[in-house]
Amino acid sequence: MSSRSPDPSGIMLIVEEVTKSFATGVEKLHVLRGIDLTVRRGEIIAIVGPSGVGKSTLLHIMGALDRPTSGRVFIDSTDVFALPEVERAGFRNRTVGFVFQFHHLMRELTALENVMMPCLIAGMSSSEARAHALRTLEQVHLASRADHRPGELSGGEEQRVAVARALVNGPSVVLADEPSGNLDRASGGELHDLIWGLRDELGQTFVIVTHNSELYERADRVVELRDGVTLKD
């Protein structure tokens, strides 16, 4: 079966009848019960809902970090889970950027070296990866901190490095899981401004799981997840 699908005008990501279940002893826990969702290019979507409802699970499936029990995910017209595993990993590295609440930076590396990593994984030379990483750090207003290690950065700066790492390969979509959840209000506000600035400057698409009302109230669209289904899209 082909991994390609017709590209509806302006659509970047399609989630089609996605379910996810986990075995719990003799029973199954049904977390997602048939999710349908479309995301347009350049759109910022916030996914909200109670804790434990499956928001992060859905985000991981959208980014091909986890496989659904059933259903399909298309990113930029590619049926992600129709790809062989090795090919899917490469596709994910090229087309999806991830930002998490805890930035997961490598502590022994500088900001620049952290941002270079996805480029090196993609097969770029060290000099090319360095150039890409420097440009991306400039976009998140951290070029002056390129040679600092995470322990020498503030929490807000560390998260901006994580955003730069997510952006460095020019992904089709950035998926963010509570990106400001570990920041104070001022740093969180700066991060939110950065996200919207990147959308305006680059046309970047974002899907963001959040409990932060200041973030989701700015989103182009809010999708509520409850009892394994979307209530509002």
- pLDDT of residue 118 exceeding 50: yes
User: How large is the average pLDDT for residues 3-16?
Assistant: 67
CB 87 within 8 A of CB 122: no
Given this model, what pLDDT does residue 30 score? 81
Name, in order, each residue with C-beta under 8 angstroms of 101's C-beta and a sequence gap of 6 or more.
177, 178, 179, 181, 182
* The CATH fold of domain 46-64+85-227: Rossmann fold (3.40.50)
Q: 6: Cβ–Cβ under 8 A, 6 or more apart, which residues? A: 77
Most distant CA pair in the chain: distance in Å? 55
Q: What is the mean pLDDT of residues 109-130?
A: 92
Exposed / middle / buried, residue 86 (Cβ in 10 Å: 0-12, 13-18, 19+): exposed
Predicted local distance difference test score (pLDDT) of residue 185:
86
Mean of the per-residue pLDDT values for the chain?
86
| Model confidence at 146: pLDDT above 50 | yes
Output 206 or 228, whichever has higher pLDDT: 206
Rg of the chain, C-alpha, whole Å: 18
pLDDT class for 43, splitting at 50, 70, 90? very high
Mean pLDDT of all residues in 93-118: 87
Domain coordinates of the chain in residue numbers? 46-64+85-227
Residue 116, token pair as written in the block:
């270079």
